Structure 1
Amino acid sequence: MSEFPLGELSKPITKLIETVSSGIGVLFEPTRVVRKAKADAEAIKILARAKVEALAIHESVIKEQYLALEQEKLSREFQQKINRDNVIVETANQLKGRRVNNIEVDKDWATQFFSFVEDVSNSQMQLIWAKLLAKEIEKPGSYSKRSLLTLKYMSVREAKTFQTIVTYSLINQNGNVLFPMFAESYLRENFPELGYSKRTRLLEDLNLISIYNFPVTVSFGPIEGKDYVWIENGEMAIKIKGNNRDDVGEITLQGQLFTEIGQELARLVSYSDQKIDYLQKIVPALLSRGSKNGKIKSLVAEFGRTDENMLHEHTFLESETLRWTDIFKK
């Protein structure tokens, strides 16, 4: 069992407590929040019998019916509380080391959030909901109510499919998420069960990806005031530079564009199992599109793993470098 991490209440945890209290309608006290595998069946029986006895029902058949209904109700409510508490505990873990602003999470948003997570028992989905809440607490307004509704009706299988598509997608400087056409071959090779029509239908039904005006052209231009193009891929990224600022031009790619809901939920995807191999294969294609004034041989791509803080700084935890001249020599 894992208890709510107390000690000194940091600003993120204090804001979490305030958000939970706002969402569930009562003052939230984290001192006794503990994750359990299942409800205490014996305690539920005792409480249910006590409530039925208080009704002073003398007919045994009716009393037993009331008792069964009361036990069912208490078991359901107990499980809902466990589900909610599991998400709260994991959210506290996600908030460790993060900075949060002073803007309060919208009360209506919080109320809807906690009404949804009460019915989420799967540990993988609880983790996704916890990541979402942590990001919303960090920066309120990051996730719309429509995204909450989409996630509510998303199955584990659908979530895994979405995660796979996001893993192969690229994010530009404006936050647009694109599944590029050249990624299709990698998807077929590694996930043959995700046929194009099946995948498109699934993501369209969930309003996560747009099928209109396919293929869509998305621009990956140089960062304003910088001499490089920065392309995100979750916890991975690609930085394309030249010898001079004028060497790097706008990179345009075609593919399927994520909807606003898809872009919001894409930020929840974990890339811990993603291989650097994918970036190694697509970097030459990006370099070939990134030249300005025909100076393609001057281009260099640095790519590798980063983290949420380094994304804003456009730096890497660990990276590799590939020059166009190296490709040209081959």
Structure 2
Amino acid sequence: MAKINPLSGQQRLRQLAKTQLGTVLRTENDDNQAAEADATPFSDKHQQLAARSGAAVSHSGLTLAQRAERRLQMQTERQQLNLERIMQLAQDYCPEHVSAQDVDPDWFQQYCELVLDVSNGNMQQLWAKILAGEIASPGKFSLKTLHSLKRMSYKEAIALQQAANLSCRSRQDPSARIYFGYFRRPSLWQWLTGRSRAVLNLSQFGLSYPQILSLIDIGLLHSAEIESGELSAGHSLNWQYQQQVITGKVRKNVVLQYYKYTASGAELLPLLSIQPNIAYLQAVKQLLTDVVDFNL
């Protein structure tokens, strides 16, 4: 009996494109697009956008029905180009070894519908990574996550990247979170002798409050600030911040505050190229210096 070799990630992607879309993918990426032109006068920009929309200022003698037909044809061609570019880009992220399970056809159909109007190159890269990840491990990305991503603009993608740079995990709960403050249960002695709460301004480290609100709005962060529950004196902390392990012991009973990702946000985080923010890490340690003893 002949041995059947498993398909590689790229082979499975090309098979998916051919059987489901009728598209044959090349094995190499398209040539780099030409650099964007220098700034042009407003009237030229207006005419360029009008032409791209299929509603050119000059009607060229066409009837209204013909102009509408041309606009729909241009839109269809643009959407097909977007889809094919993303399928092509996905080849760069496909691993050699993937699951033997096929991608759910209903999932793939909705995926294709959602990417039709994605023209931004950076967003196309993100969608391509999702497809490659789903081919490698079907069921990895939920439809809810796809719809959250569809709502995301490039500006919000930058906000997610900034949030990811500040995210860490704990051994007790592996879900990513962004620590920003603490408070202690009020007592008369604390009121008279020392502070009972402290908050970090995350905008100093690239994540502004409007960005946080936008991530909440598209369903990537929970809408409410999360509290850890009171950690008693002697409680051990074990955090993973990027490649660093941070350990320490709680010195005084304290409640930590943080932002937590939703399930959709957590699914998208591994797709990002995370850059550690050492200034943020030092600021968190300094913030907690009155209530936590960190190990060097």
Per the TM superposition, whether the score is higher than 0.5 is yes
What is the CA-CA distance between 1:108 and the residue it aligns to?
0.8
Aligned to 1:189: 204
Aligned to 1:28: 23
What is the CA-CA distance between 1:216 and the residue it aligns to?
2.6
Distance in structure 2 (CA, Å) of the matches to 1:255 and 1:180 = 4
1:151-175 Cα distance to aligned partner (Å, 9 max, x none): 1111111221122122111134554
Closer/same/farther in 2, CA of residues 21 and 279 from structure 1, 3 Å limit? farther
Query: How well do the aligned residues superpose, as a CA RMSD in angstroms?
Result: 3.9
What is the CA-CA distance between 1:115 and the residue it aligns to?
0.9
Q: SS in structure 2 opposite 1:255?
A: strand
Whether 1:156 aligns to 2:165 is no
Distance in structure 1 (CA, Å) of the matches to 2:271 and 2:288 = 25
Aligned to 2:106: 108
How does the TM-score come out when normalised to structure 1?
0.60
Q: SS in structure 2 opposite 1:112?
A: helix
1:26-58 Cα distance to aligned partner (Å, 9 max, x none): 3432149846869xxxxxxxxxxxxxxxxxxxx
**Counterparts of residues 62-141 of structure 1 (less than 5 Å):** 64-95=63-94, 97-141=95-139
Give the conservation status (yes or no) of the 8 Å contact 2:170–2:239. Answer: yes
1:266 equivalent among 266, 269, 286:
269
Gaps of 5+ in 1: 1-8, 39-60, 220-227, 300-322, 324-330
Closer/same/farther in 2, CA of residues 275 and 73 from structure 1, 3 Å limit? same
Whether 1:231 aligns to 2:240 is yes
Supply the AA of the counterpart residue of 1:14: Q
**Length, aligned pairs only:** 240
Distance in structure 2 (CA, Å) of the matches to 1:105 and 1:209 = 27
Give the conservation status (yes or no) of the 8 Å contact 2:175–2:261. Answer: yes
What is the CA-CA distance between 1:231 and the residue it aligns to?
1.4
Closer/same/farther in 2, CA of residues 114 and 287 from structure 1, 3 Å limit? farther
What is the CA-CA distance between 1:200 and the residue it aligns to?
4.2
What is the CA-CA distance between 1:138 and the residue it aligns to?
1.6
Distance in structure 2 (CA, Å) of the matches to 1:286 and 1:12 = 46
Distance in structure 2 (CA, Å) of the matches to 1:15 and 1:286 = 50
Higher share of residues assigned helix: 1
Q: SS in structure 2 opposite 1:154?
A: coil
What is the CA-CA distance between 1:119 and the residue it aligns to?
0.4
Supply the AA of the counterpart residue of 2:21: V
Give the conservation status (yes or no) of the 8 Å contact 1:240–1:287. Answer: no
Aligned to 2:8: 11
How does the TM-score come out when normalised to structure 2?
0.66
Give the conservation status (yes or no) of the 8 Å contact 2:220–2:265. Answer: yes
Give the conservation status (yes or no) of the 8 Å contact 2:8–2:96. Answer: no
Whether 1:216 aligns to 2:213 is no
Aligned to 1:309: none
Distance in structure 2 (CA, Å) of the matches to 1:160 and 1:275 = 15
Which structure has the higher relative contact order (CA within 8 Å, separation 6+)?
2
Q: SS in structure 2 opposite 1:142?
A: coil
Distance in structure 1 (CA, Å) of the matches to 2:76 and 2:181 = 49
Closer/same/farther in 2, CA of residues 267 and 216 from structure 1, 3 Å limit? farther
Supply the AA of the counterpart residue of 1:168: L
Distance in structure 2 (CA, Å) of the matches to 1:131 and 1:138 = 11
Give the conservation status (yes or no) of the 8 Å contact 1:20–1:110. Answer: no
What is the CA-CA distance between 1:21 and the residue it aligns to?
4.2
Q: SS in structure 2 opposite 1:267?
A: helix
Distance in structure 1 (CA, Å) of the matches to 2:229 and 2:98 = 31
Q: SS in structure 2 opposite 1:265?
A: helix
Closer/same/farther in 2, CA of residues 103 and 276 from structure 1, 3 Å limit? farther
Aligned to 1:304: none
Give the conservation status (yes or no) of the 8 Å contact 2:17–2:24. Answer: no
**Counterparts of residues 37-52 of structure 1 (less than 5 Å):** none
Closer/same/farther in 2, CA of residues 172 and 89 from structure 1, 3 Å limit? farther
Distance in structure 1 (CA, Å) of the matches to 2:267 and 2:239 = 19
Where has structure 1 moved over 6 Å in runs of 4 or more?
283-291
